[in-house]
Amino acid sequence: MFGTSGIRGEFGTDVNAGLALDLGRAIASENANRVVVGRDARTTGALLADAVTAGLRECGADVVSLGVVPTPTVARAVSWYGAAVGVAVTASHNPPADNGLKLWDRDGSAVVDGRQAVVADRIRADDYEYAPWDAVGTRTTRSDARDRHVNAVVDAVGDLGADAPAVVVDVGNGTGTVTAAALRALGCSVHTLDADADGSFPARPSEPTAETCASLRAVVEATDADLGVAHDGDADRMLAVTEEGTFVPGDVLLAVFATDAVSNGETVAVPVDTSLAVDRAVRDAGGDTTYTRVGDGHVAARTADNGVVFGGEPSGAWIWPAHARCPDGTLAAAKLASLVADADSVSSLVAGVEQTPLRRENIETGEKDAVVAAVHDRVEETYEDVTALDGVRVEVRDGWFLVRASGTQPLVRVTAEAATSERADELLDTARDLVQDALTVVAAD
């Protein structure tokens, strides 16, 4: 039921109003007396938000409704409004036909593992604590959450003064206009692309990549902008473009943020699919790297450990636990603008990262878990250095590859890294062949 980022899938099959209603009932039945609910701009978001709100109130929880806001706004609002839990109705970077529901804790981090399991068990057992007719929960609407988010980011970064950069913000028809507001409050000159919220994402696919951000790259290259930033549909992710219009790989941006955040003896949390370039950069800065399962909730959980000052994922999720334990695309954009104000350019920041050839590929399958299990059986027979923290990671003398099931989509994700491009390609081919063989085995079964 729950993946790496809550419940997510195709509307009408994997996710529907009945599931949202039951989720609300289950959360309230776990003694959540007040719950914050917000949603992204997806077409099906309003009815899912209504359904989860109905379930919450039916079992006695008061609901604070935020309307259409970024997911990090929902996460931050749990503490702002004295709630026990936050529910974001979102499928983040997924296609417009998808939707989902993600839970947030009092400290702003995603609810993961055990607490998700408790909620899922209640839903499977149809076990709810309904309130009496005269004690159902209330619903109030708050319209100030967006402004509070802007103010929190400004307080975290501070005025950038005369060196504030000119920024192009690619909203991608999502909820990320809060970033433009925050950057302007910091003193930046801001131009937005596709800022009208539209859950069908007509301008580009919701996930920001080098390919989907072609318009952003072209605008930044053709203007005097100092950088470009792009969000996914719910603005928890942020990726960047240099002043020359070059897309910055997520691992490189992770290294930039990590080395700025870490000092001697401090630690950065990253998932197992992260480039070794990040570990090298962090060690050069005097810090250490700790590895987690993929998913911002797992990274956020690790940032609660002593000495962990930053967490990030190459997909574009960035967490500064001193400010918020949720991935916050707006905070990340402001942090990057601050770094650019202090440096010559985004390009100079990127140039400081020693990169290693890295390959990533997705293979679509409805049997992702079975496929990864079959790959694990095969590599255990063939390789000596195999770990299964998340999927199957194989270390070889001159590189590594990882095969893991996506926690949000029907995909097997394959990653490979090596000292040379040729060897990285070879390792990717090896991993891809293992997946294809596993697909054949699973189909035969």
Q: Assess whether 261 and 218 both reside in one domain.
A: yes
Active site residue 92: yes
- Give the whole-angstrom CA distance, residue 207 versus residue 338: 24
Dump pLDDT digits (tens) for 347-370.
999 999 999 999 999 999 999 999
Q: Assess whether 185 and 324 both reside in one domain.
A: yes
Within a domain: 364: yes
CATH number at residue 376: 3.30.310.50
Q: What are phi and psi of 205, to 5 degrees?
A: -55, 150
**Mean per-residue pLDDT, 237-242:** 98
Q: Assess whether 206 and 176 both reside in one domain.
A: yes
Q: Assess whether 85 and 184 both reside in one domain.
A: no
Q: Assess whether 269 and 368 both reside in one domain.
A: no
Count the residues in the chain.
445
- Give the whole-angstrom CA distance, residue 98 versus residue 102: 13
- Give the whole-angstrom CA distance, residue 229 versus residue 80: 27
- Of 288, 316, 351, the residue that ends a domain is 351
> Which pLDDT does position 113 carry in this prediction?
78
Dump pLDDT digits (tens) for 49-59.
999 999 999 99
Within a domain: 27: yes
Q: What domain range is 28 assigned to?
A: 7-143
Q: Assess whether 322 and 433 both reside in one domain.
A: no
Within a domain: 118: yes
- Of 143, 172, 192, the residue that ends a domain is 143
Q: Assess whether 218 and 238 both reside in one domain.
A: yes
> Which pLDDT does position 195 carry in this prediction?
98
Give the active site residue among 5, 92, 315, 338. 92
User: 257: closest CA among 164, 350, 195, 184?
Assistant: 350
Dump pLDDT digits (tens) for 247-285.
999 999 999 999 999 998 999 999 999 999 999 999 999
For the chain, give the percent of residues with pLDDT over 70. Answer: 100
What's the CA angle centered on 129, arms 123 and 132, to 5 degrees? 140
> Which pLDDT does position 154 carry in this prediction?
98
- Indicate the number of domains in the chain: 3
In sequence order, the 6+-apart residues with CB closer than 8 A to the CB of 373 are: none
> Which pLDDT does position 407 carry in this prediction?
80
Q: Assess whether 118 and 213 both reside in one domain.
A: no
Confidence of residue 343 (pLDDT cuts 50, 70, 90): very high
**Is 408's pLDDT higher than 90?**
no
Within a domain: 1: no
Q: Assess whether 159 and 302 both reside in one domain.
A: yes
Q: What are phi and psi of 169, to 5 degrees?
A: -110, 115
Within a domain: 114: yes
- Of 99, 115, 143, the residue that ends a domain is 143
Q: Assess whether 166 and 212 both reside in one domain.
A: yes
Q: Assess whether 181 and 300 both reside in one domain.
A: yes
Within a domain: 429: yes
What value does the mean pLDDT of the chain take? 96
Within a domain: 2: no
CATH number at residue 214: 3.40.120.10
Dump pLDDT digits (tens) for 113-169.
788 999 999 999 999 999 999 999 999 999 999 999 999 999 999 989 999 999 999
Confidence of residue 112 (pLDDT cuts 50, 70, 90): confident
Q: What is the 3-state secondary structure (H, E, C) of the chain?
A: CCECCEEEEEECCCECHHHHHHHHHHHHHCCCCEEEEEECCCCCHHHHHHHHHHHHHHCCCEEEEEEECCHHHHHHHHHHCCCCEEEEECCCCCCCCEEEEEEECCCCCECCCHHHHHHHHHHHHCCCCCCCCCCCCCEEECCCHHHHHHHHHHHHHCCCHHHCCEEEEECCCCCCHHHHHHHHHCCCEEEEECCCCCCCCCCCCCCCCCCCCHHHHHHHHHCCCCEEEEECCCCCEEEEECCCCCECCHHHHHHHHHHHHCCCCCEEEEECCCCHHHHHHHHHCCCEEEEECCCHHHHHHHCCCCCEEEEEECCCEEECCCCCCCCCHHHHHHHHHHHHHHCCCHHHHHHCCCCCCEEEEEEECCCHHHHHHHHHHHHHHHCCEEECCCCEEEEECCEEEEEEECCCCCEEEEEEEECCHHHHHHHHHHHHHHHHHHHHHHHHC
Dump pLDDT digits (tens) for 6-35.
899 999 999 999 999 999 999 999 999 999
Within a domain: 80: yes
Q: Assess whether 186 and 271 both reside in one domain.
A: yes
Mean pLDDT check: name the lowest of 112-126, 140-154, 205-219, 413-427: 112-126
Burial class (CB in 10 A: 0-12, 13-18, 19+), 338: buried
